[in-house]
Chain A
Amino acid sequence: MSGQAVAVVDTNVLLNLATPVVDRRARAPSGADPFKALLAAYDVHVPASVLGEVTEATGGEDLLATAADLVLRAAHQVTTHDVDDRTDEPLEYGLDRGEAEAIWLANELEADLFITDEFNTTNYLFVSLALDDRNSLFTSPHILCTFAAHGVLPSEFVEAALSYYVETKGWDSQYVAQLRQRYLVDGENA
């Protein structure tokens, strides 16, 4: 609220940003909390199905389940919308329910940002097509770079986090390199 930009996010964004926070391996970046930064810096909204998908991911012993556990601990910081049965239309394409409903919600709220990590595959095309305002489409690495540029997160942490995601999640390294170049090298990293 309070004049913050409205962001709608999908399940993977929440889980991806929470992952380095709970990952205690040496390879994980430490010293900052990108998940908390997202929820504190924007007015974050999700459809109930996204929290449903996060809940489904809990219960195991693995890294993903631990990240999901962290997301749920902060779920009260997120505005949840009941959007049942709003996406029967041909919105879904190859997208899962949470994704399709999140896009629907972003359109409905005229959100300033729709954040997705579906940028490695052609799903990105469907997301682009389904969003009313393509200019509101962003990804976690783009947002992380923005946080570095605005001093919300340390640049060194964002650098390390981007490398971590490229290695562990197989994020499109060229796209990430472009973002680095644009926001971390040329930007306010000095």
Chain B
Amino acid sequence: MAEEKTRIDFNAPKSLVERADSVVDILDISRTRLLIDALEDELEALADDEAFRRRLGDAYYDGRVDYKTVEAILGREEAMRMKLLEASIDRTPAEPQLADGLPSDESFYDGDIPEWRDDSSSESEDESRA
């Protein structure tokens, strides 16, 4: 269970450390515990943050972070999905073959193509743009 630990030292604003120490006293936990909890909460929040996930995805696709990192932050399923999608990009689909170009709409759809317009909002928008 006991995971290997690594020691970190860092400087922080004095007032922040004082506030943290007050909280630590009240909760009756160690300063280390508070910091670890805070870090875990922050990492968890980032994993749910769309903008962060996007940046992580960019970093993964660009080769700046590896699979293990993505897995540790986003979880195995999401990491697997990204890995499989990435692998799929280099696959070449069977070649499309058109006998005589695309058929006409009339023969293909047996009549006119149904159309949809957003009557509620776009009417004025479209007209002002026209």
Contact = CB atoms under 8 A, between A and B. Distances in A.
A41 B96 contact: yes
A63 B80 CA distance: 33
B58 A174 contact: yes
B85 interface: yes
Nearest to B56: A174
Contacts, number: 119
Interface string A1-29: 01111010000000000000111111000
B61 to A, nearest CB: 6
Given A25-B122, A122-B78, A178-B86, A113 B116 contact: no
B85 A37 contact: no
A73 interface: yes
A50 to B, nearest CB: 19
A126 B29 CA distance: 43
Interface stretch (B13-21, B33-41, B103-111): B103-111
A83 interface: no
B114 interface: yes
Interface residues of A, number: 53
Nearest to B122: A25
Given A22-B116, A25-B122, A63-B116, A5 B84 contact: no
Interface stretch (B4-12, B64-72, B87-95): B87-95
Given A26-B122, A70-B109, A62 B95 contact: no
Interface of A, helix, strand, loop or mixed by DSSP: helix
Interface stretch (A99-107, A146-154, A159-167): A146-154
B89 A36 contact: no
B114 A66 contact: yes
A176 to B, nearest CB: 10
B84 to A, nearest CB: 5
Contacts of A69: 114
Given A122-B77, A135-B91, A146-B93, A152 B98 contact: yes
B2 interface: no
B45 interface: no
Contact of B95 (A5, A21, A138): A5
Contact of A142 (B61, B89, B113, B114): B89
Interface of B: 54, 57-58, 61, 77-78, 80-81, 84-86, 88-99, 102-103, 105, 108-111, 113-118, 122, 125-126, 129
22 contacts: A24-B115, A25-B117, A26-B129, A33-B105, A36-B105, A37-B96, A37-B102, A42-B96, A67-B116, A70-B113, A70-B114, A113-B94, A135-B91, A137-B88, A139-B88, A142-B89, A142-B93, A146-B92, A150-B95, A174-B61, A175-B85, A182-B89
Given A124-B85, A152-B102, 20 more contacts: A5-B94, A21-B113, A25-B118, A26-B122, A26-B126, A40-B98, A41-B97, A42-B96, A63-B116, A70-B109, A73-B109, A73-B110, A112-B94, A122-B81, A138-B88, A142-B88, A142-B89, A147-B96, A173-B54, A179-B89
